[in-house]
Amino acid sequence: MVKIGEGIEVREELIKKTCNLAMEAHSSSPGKPYIYKKINGSTDVVFAFARTLSFDGWYSNTSFGETQINTNLFPSLRSVGTDEVAKVNEAFARRFQDILDKSSLKNEVEKAMLEGRQVVFAGHSSGGAIAILAALWCLECCRTRPNGDMLVHPYCMTFGSPLVGNKIWSHALRRENWARYFIHFVMKYDVVPRMMLAPLSSIQELLQAISPFINPKSQYYQHEAVARSSNALNFFMTVMRNASSVASYAACNLKGCTNLLLETVSNIVQLSPYRPFGTYIFCTGNRKLVVIENPDAVLQLLFYSSQLSSEAEAAVVVARSLNDHLLYKNEMQDSLEMQDVVHLNNLTDIPLSSNVDPRYEVASMNSALNDLCLSTRARLCLRAAGEWEKQKKKNEEKIEQNKRSIRDALSKIQEYQTKCDIRKVGYYDAFKIQNTDDDFNANVKRLELAGIWDEIIEMLKRYELPDSFEGRRDWIELGTQFRRQVEPLDIANYYRHLKNEDTGPYLIRARPKRYRFTQRWLEHFDKVQAGARSESCFWAEVEELRNRPFAQVQDRVLSLETAANGWIQSSLLGDDVFFPESTYTKWWRTLPTQHKQASWVSRKITP
Side chain identity, residue 190: D
> What residues form DSSP beta bridges with 454?
none
Query: Which pLDDT tens digit goes with each residue over 118-157?
Result: 999 999 999 999 999 999 999 999 887 766 666 789 999 9
Query: Which pLDDT tens digit goes with each residue over 188-200?
Result: 999 999 999 999 8
* Mean pLDDT, rounded, for 556-569: 96
Domains and CATH numbers, the chain: 4-394 (3.40.50), 401-603 (no CATH)
Q: Measure the CA–CA gap between 247 and 197, rounded to whole angstroms.
A: 10
Q: Could you tell me if 448 and 442 are in contact, meaning their C-beta atoms sit under 8 angstroms apart? A: no
The catalytic residue among 76, 125, 161, 245 is 125
pLDDT given at position 386:
97
In sign, the C-alpha dihedral spanning 23, 29, 33, 38 is negative
Q: Measure the CA–CA gap between 123 and 48, rounded to whole angstroms.
A: 5
The question of whether 125 is a catalytic residue gets the answer yes
Residue 431 has pLDDT above 90, yes or no: yes
Per cent of the chain over pLDDT 90 is 79
- Local structure of 157: helix, strand or coil: strand
Q: Measure the CA–CA gap between 210 and 205, rounded to whole angstroms.
A: 9
Q: Give the list of residues 6+ apart from residue 565 with CB closer than 8 angstroms, or none.
A: 600
525-543: buried (b, 16+ CB within 10 Å) or exposed (e) per residue? beeeeeeebbbbbbbbbbb
Q: Give the list of residues 6+ apart from residue 353 with CB closer than 8 angstroms, or none.
A: 376
Q: Give the list of residues 6+ apart from residue 232 with CB closer than 8 angstroms, or none.
A: 210, 213, 226, 318, 319, 321, 322
Nearest to 1 by CA among 366, 379, 365, 371: 365
Residue 2 has pLDDT above 90, yes or no: no
pLDDT given at position 94:
96
Q: Measure the CA–CA gap between 231 and 11, rounded to whole angstroms.
A: 40
> What residues form DSSP beta bridges with 185?
159, 281
pLDDT given at position 420:
96
Query: Which pLDDT tens digit goes with each residue over 466-504?
Result: 999 999 999 999 999 999 999 999 999 999 999 999 999
pLDDT interval class at 29 (50, 70, 90): low
pLDDT given at position 356:
73
The question of whether 56 is a catalytic residue gets the answer no
pLDDT given at position 335:
86
Provide the whole-model pTM.
Answer: 0.93
Tell me the backbone φ, ψ of residue 21, rounded to 5 degrees: -70, -35
- Return the H-helix or E-strand segment holding 68: strand 66-68
- Local structure of 297: helix, strand or coil: helix
Side chain identity, residue 179: A
pLDDT interval class at 28 (50, 70, 90): confident
For the chain, how many helices (H) and strands (E)?
26, 12
pLDDT given at position 55:
76
Q: Measure the CA–CA gap between 195 and 325, rounded to whole angstroms.
A: 12
pLDDT given at position 260:
57
Q: For 51-60, 377-386, 411-420, which range has the lowest pLDDT when averaged over its residues? A: 51-60
Encode 236-254 in three state secondary structure.
HHHHHHHHHHHHHHHHHHH
pLDDT given at position 70:
97
Query: Which pLDDT tens digit goes with each residue over 73-104?
Result: 999 999 998 889 999 999 999 999 999 999 99
Q: Measure the CA–CA gap between 197 and 208, rounded to whole angstroms.
A: 17
Pairing of strands 87-89, 66-68: antiparallel
The catalytic residue among 44, 190, 340, 438 is 190
pLDDT given at position 1:
56
> What residues form DSSP beta bridges with 552?
none
Helix-strand-coil percent breakdown of the chain, rounded to 5?
A: 60, 10, 30
Q: Could you tell me if 94 and 130 are in contact, meaning their C-beta atoms sit under 8 angstroms apart? A: no
Nearest to 193 by CA among 64, 100, 260, 282: 282
Q: Give the list of residues 6+ apart from residue 289 with CB closer than 8 angstroms, or none.
A: 4, 281, 282, 283, 335, 340, 341, 342
The catalytic residue among 124, 325, 343, 524 is 325
> What residues form DSSP beta bridges with 124?
159
Query: Which pLDDT tens digit goes with each residue over 339-375?
Result: 889 999 999 999 998 887 666 667 888 888 999 999 9
pLDDT interval class at 295 (50, 70, 90): very high
pLDDT given at position 125:
96
- What's the mean pLDDT when you consider all of the chain? 92
Query: Which pLDDT tens digit goes with each residue over 502-542?
Result: 999 999 989 999 999 999 999 999 999 999 999 999 999 99
Q: Count other Cβ atoms within 10 Å, centred on residue 353.
A: 8
pLDDT interval class at 310 (50, 70, 90): confident
Q: Could you tell me if 399 and 314 are in contact, meaning their C-beta atoms sit under 8 angstroms apart? A: no
Report the interhelical angle of 513-526 vs 437-461 (nearest 10°): 70
Establish how many alpha carbons lie within 13 A of residue 474's alpha carbon, considering only the half-sphere containing its beta carbon. 8
Alpha carbon 475 to chain centroid, angstroms: 18
Q: Measure the CA–CA gap between 409 and 397, rounded to whole angstroms.
A: 20
The question of whether 421 is a catalytic residue gets the answer no
Residue 567 has pLDDT above 90, yes or no: yes
Nearest to 423 by CA among 412, 441, 435, 411: 435
Pairing of strands 44-49, 84-85: unpaired
